[in-house]
Structure 1
Amino acid sequence: MDQLPAFGRSIFPALMPTMKAYSVLHEKNRSNIESTPREEFKYGSDPRQKLDFYTPKQVSDDTPILVFVYGGGLSRGDKRMPSPPTAEGLVYANIGHYFSSRGFITVIPDYRRTGDGGVFPSGGQDVAGALEWVKNRFSTGNHKLWIMGNSAGAVHSATWLLEPSLAESRKSVQSGSVVIQGVVLVSIPAHFQQAGEDRSEVLTAYYKDKVEQDCALGLVSRAETPITRVLAVLGTLDPEDEIIEPSNDFVKKWKERFGQDKLTEVLLEGHNHFSTVIALGTGIEREESLGTEVLKWMGQA
């Protein structure tokens, strides 16, 4: 964590050095991360619609479930990053290990990116597809469900929570064997008003000509009362223009429309846009502050 300020706050310049720094810590903890049982399943017909399923040591009829949706700027990302500068196969297995070792069934889906035909609201639809798979897998019992999305994954998680066309998916997890308890939005780019020119091609590919309407801020501006509570997380080294300001605008609009009862804010000292989630699974308490705050908010700590 102490190295992070030297990498700067801009997203792309900070990416590679952050991944490289944490790959060293992940390698040191590889045996623990890989000790968590993992299986891969398909949750839909598209080649990208696969998920990794991490199992805790004990599973019962009331084991909680976490679905984690990773980031990647709408155009990149995989449920297990295959090559350097990450430790091969350990990102995002580190998430599966961290939460499974704390008693959660952990599900990490791949989703359609812009190069794979991803067009709004496909990210939210893929979250819905993964949830449908989870519901079918656990057709009995009393499982509390949580969704956590990071960066673009937070965009897709917010889309699932707020997009009108996904109302049936939300309804499906309001009762029965798997019931939604909350959504965690980590470093969400809730709008793109200050996005650089290098983002325009991807944004047009995903949102077409409706980026202001269909971004997370646009969705919360016109959504019905959300079905569950939200935890909004930022790192102090997140970019001010692309992440902190848009996230704060989202929070402000949420509070204007729905009040403060269902929204909690957390600021993680010393973390940048990538380290919040990458640091999980290192086994270092100071690094894993996101997990500590999320578990506290869940009421599991």
Structure 2
Amino acid sequence: MSDAIAAMGRVLGPDVLAAVQDLYRGEQEQLAAGHPVDAADLPYGEHPRHRLDLYRAKGASGPAPVLLWVHGGGFIRGEKCAPDHPYGANVGRWAARAGMLGAVMNYRLAPECGWPAGGEDVGAAVDWLKANAAAHGGDPDRIVAIGTSAGAVHVATHLRLAAGDTGLAGVGLLSGLYGFTPLDDRDTLYYGAPDMYAARMPREAVVASEVPLFVACAEFDPPRFQAETLGLLAARLDTHGQMPRAYIASGHNHFSMGCHIGTADTRLTDEIASFIGAL
């Protein structure tokens, strides 16, 4: 797998995404067949995209930690599940197999909905889980939100919007953007005019937050995402006197960070499970 991913380089695009999905499709579809969704399309708000799916831990002896997964998609696409592939849902299924309540959400997309819609939606999903997780076997006091790419941006933005009352026991940020690098033209669909970019990024909130933090990026992430990760780690060190828990996913690229979760490559999920278990 790693050789095939390395050969794809560090570029983003639909062809690379499709190639990554094909690498893991067989294993992920086999795993999906053994763990269907337990509750689908639960509304956490009024917009049609305000929906989440739940995957329950089997045989749990008590209330389980809750993992809220926030998909990527460059602010303009992405799904919690899809009829033609197992991705997004794979994280909920892995969480359930690891003894957690997996919650996989959709959120509003650009250009219909711009900043800060994604961060608001993460907050609304957290509020829904605080009120309803117990009825599905989850512990509302142990909700961990983990996002990849645009999803990581939205989780980070929730930290900014919620200030000290995040409702979260922990946060995971995988290959996200926090405000340590310049605007990319594609980001204007979500952030609006370029002169608004710096003021709307969650940099200060993520650096200052006291919520336990896990940060990761991929060996073959584009340089911008690697620079964002390094910038955040350095800023956290300056502010808190130590870096947060962090991981560099060797052999992976921007898309495989999420697509491989739940497969035989358990290095990232081992880190995530250990992070959540220590909270």
TM-score by length of 1: 0.82
- In structure 1, what is the equivalent of residue 34 of structure 2? 32
1:64 alignment partner, SS class: strand
Q: Distance in 2 between matches of 1:200 and 1:93?
A: 26
Deviation at 1:195, TM superposition (A): 5.4
Q: CA deviation at 1:299?
A: 2.8
Is 1:187 the counterpart of 2:175? The answer is yes
Number of corresponding residues: 274
Match of 2:262 among 266, 281, 289: 281
Q: Distance in 1 between matches of 2:209 and 2:203?
A: 14
RMSD: 2.5
**1:122 Cα shift?**
1.4
Partner of 1:239: 222
**Deviation of the 1:108 alpha carbon:** 1.1
Distance 1:11 1:172, change over 3 A: closer
Segment of structure 1 superposing worse, 270-279 or 11-20: 11-20
Amino acid at match of 1:101: R
Residue by residue over 1:236-262, the C-alpha shift from the partner in whole angstroms, topping out at 9 and shown as x without a partner, is 11111x21012211222222223316x
- State yes or no: 1:153 paired with 2:145: no
Matched, 1:214 2:200: yes
SS of residue matched to 2:169:
strand
Distance 1:21 1:257, change over 3 A: same
Give how far 1:77 is off.
0.6
Q: Deviations over 1:211-250 (max 9, x none)?
A: 11222335446xxx4131111101111111x210122112
Residue in structure 2 matched with residue 126 of structure 1 by the alignment: 121
Shift of 1:110: 0.6
CA 1:209–1:46: 2 relative to 1, 3 Å: farther
* Letter aligned with residue 254 of structure 1: R
Say which SS state the counterpart of residue 271 (structure 1) adopts.
Answer: strand
User: Over residues 101-120 of structure 1, what are the superposed CA-to-partner deviations in whole Å (9 max), with x where a residue is unaligned?
Assistant: 111011111111113x3222
- Contact 1:57–1:103 at 8 Å: present in 2 too? yes
- Residue 279 of structure 2 is aligned to residue 298 of structure 1: no
Equivalent-residue separation in structure 1 for 2:115 and 2:236 (angstroms):
21
Structure 2 CA distance, aligned partners of 1:68 and 1:264?
Answer: 18
Verify the 8 A CA contact 1:71 1:150 in the aligned structure 2. yes
Please say if 1:171 is aligned against 2:165.
yes
The reply to whether residue 21 of structure 1 matches residue 23 of structure 2 is yes
- Select which of 69, 76, 99 maps to 1:103: 99
Unpaired runs of 5+ in structure 1?
174-179
Identity among equivalent positions (%) equals 27
Matched residue SS, 1:190: coil
8 Å CA contact retained: 2:146, 2:155: yes
* AA at the equivalent of 1:50: R
1:297 to partner: Cα distance: 2.1
Whole-Å Cα distance in 2 between the matches of residues 43 and 54 of structure 1? Answer: 16
Aligned to 1:70: 71
The one-character-per-residue Cα deviations of 1:147-180 (angstroms, maximum 9, x if unpaired) are 111011000111111x1x423xx5262xxxxxx3
CA distance in 2, matches of 1:194, 1:181: 30
Match of 1:253 in 2: 235
- TM-score, normalised with respect to structure 2: 0.88
Tell me if structure 1 keeps the 8 A contact 2:180–2:232. no
1:134, CA displacement in angstroms?
A: 0.8
Please give the secondary structure, in 2, of the residue aligned with 1:246: helix
Structure 2: tracts of 5 or more residues without a match: none
Q: 2:210 aligns with which of 227, 234, 237?
A: 227
- Maintained 8 Å contact 2:66/2:140: no
CA distance in 2, matches of 1:226, 1:189: 16
- Tell me: CA distance 1:187–1:78, structure 2 relative to 1, closer, same or farther (3 Å): same
After superposition, the Cα gap between the structure-2 partners of 1:28 and 1:107, relative to the gap in structure 1 and judged at 3 Å, is closer
